[in-house]
Amino acid sequence: MQSKRTKKLKGKILFILVTIGILHVLIINNGLQTIKSIIQKIYRFVGIMNTDSSMIQIFINGLITGSIYALIALGFTIIYRTVKFFHFAHGIVYAAGAYLAYAFFIFLRINRFISFFLAIIVAALLGVCIDRLVYVPLRKYKTSNLVFLLTSFGVFIFLQNLLQLIFGAQILTLRTGPIKEGHHFLGAVITDNQILIIVSSLVLFFLCWLFIQKTKFGKAIRAVSDDPIGARVVGINSEKIIMIAFAIGSALAGAAGILISLETNIEPTMGFSAILKGIIASIIGGIGSIPGALFGGLFLGVAENLGIWQIQAGWKDAIAFVILILFLLFRPSGIMGIKTEKEKL
């Protein structure tokens, strides 16, 4: 058993390195010159003093967007573990978090912290409502994952346009006051808000990990995730656990929406690309794995930023989906997921 585990670990690390390498080569795309420039970059990267500062900036930018992706993936994963389908509407809870924060903070002029807290609570409630109203009736029959996904899609489209009706299509922002200058770090710039994003993400991840691993509810979630029937046998009310998962996951989505809105704009379609990235990050990291969500999110953030450094920004989405399709076809269990069982016959 031991040697198998270390073998698996080595395999995973190798796979990660190879993927990053291939990504780099594909993006830069120039054969021998590529290899030369890669070696140059590594040299400069390791020698911190004379580092190519733009590389650090890209990496930091990647961490920032990656943290948001990871947070979305985290909430998504916690929900996925209990219901086992892709809750696409997670993206609209993310957007709702931002819009609610706007409504409370900017529009109603409630204190910043209370506004954000309220927004997160309402986002959590929204997620639970979606589950109760839409998914519960479907759970009564033996509904396939695909039907859940399509239904979730429908909810997403409905709510996204509802947000647009209520708040209008124009761009909104949570930013108030003058723009503070960023800190200089290894030749790159990072602002307070950006640091907040990365730190919040890591803290929330750690808290969730503690919750899942150490608390009674966390154990129950794992039980429902691994063996729903067995869980019921030992008296776990799976419906209640699912509700808790939706509440926590949606709260995380709302928080992510608020965090990103401190940095960029709020618009009705923000949830769409957000949830797509979240799903891609989850699959890359290994669907159902919490450390995988963190890894996948950061990986996707960094990969995207590396990508648009050389290619135009408009290709960002396409790059993410190419990565997704490659993973789906060749490593559907992601980096940290367990190899999926062959189809049961």
Partner 1 sequence: MDYLIHILIIAGIYTILSLSLNLIVGYTGLAALGHIAFACIGAYTSSLLALNFGISPWMGLIAGAILASTLGAIVAYPSLRLKGDYLALATFGLGVIVYSIAKNWVSLTRGPMGLPGIPSFSIFGYQISNVWSYLILVLLFVLLTYIVIKNITNSPFGRILKGIREDEIASLAMGKSVNKYKLIVFVVGAFFAGIAGSLYAHYISFIDPSSFTIMESITVLLMVVFGGMGSLKGSIVGAFLLVVLPELLRFLGMPSSIAAPLRQMIYGLLLVVLMIWRPQGLLGKYKFK
Partner 2 sequence: MLQVQNLHKEFDGIKAVDDLTFTIVENSIVALVGPNGSGKTTVFNIVSGFLKAEKGKVILDAKDITSVSPYKIACLGIGRTFQNIRLFPQISVLDNVMLGLKYETGDRFSAAFLQTRKMKKEEKQNIKKAEELLKFVGIIEKRDELAENLSHGQRKLLELARILALEPKIFLLDEPIAGLFPETKRTMFGLIRKLKESGKTILFIEHDLHSVMDIAEKIIVLDHGKKIAEGTPEEIKQNKEVLKAYLGKESL
Binding-site ranges for partner 1 (CB under 8 A): 85-86, 134, 137-138, 142-151, 153-162, 164-165, 168-169, 268, 276, 279, 283, 312, 314-315, 317-318, 321-322, 324-325, 328-329, 332, 343, 345
Given partner 2, partner 1, none, residue 332, with its beta carbon under 5 to 8 Å by kind, binds partner 1
Minimum distance, C-beta of residue 147 to partner 2, in the bound complex (Å): 15
Minimum distance, C-beta of residue 286 to partner 2, in the bound complex (Å): 17
Structure tokens at 191: 């602002």
Residue with tokens 């030992």: 234
For helices 238-263 and 192-214, angle between their N-to-C axes, nearest 10 degrees: 170
Contact between 119 and 254 (Cβ < 8 Å): yes
Q: Which of residues 316-345 bind partner 2 (CB under 8 A)?
A: 342, 345
Return the number of other C-beta atoms located less than 10 Å from residue 227's C-beta.
Answer: 12
Alpha carbon of residue 315 to chain centroid: 19
Residue with tokens 């021998």: 32
Given partner 1, partner 2, none, residue 145, with its beta carbon under 5 to 8 Å by kind, binds partner 1
DSSP state of 342: P
Nearer to partner 2, 181 or 343 (CB): 343
The whole-angstrom separation of Cα 130 and Cα 211 is 23
Mapped onto helix, strand or coil, the DSSP state of residue 72 is: helix
Minimum distance, C-beta of residue 142 to partner 1, in the bound complex (Å): 7
Is residue 5 involved in binding partner 2 (CB under 8 A)?
no
Minimum distance, C-beta of residue 104 to partner 1, in the bound complex (Å): 23
**Residues paired with residue 190 on neighbouring β-strands, in sequence order:** 183
Minimum distance, C-beta of residue 324 to partner 1, in the bound complex (Å): 5
Name the site residues for partner 2 (rule: CB under 8 A).
1, 342, 345
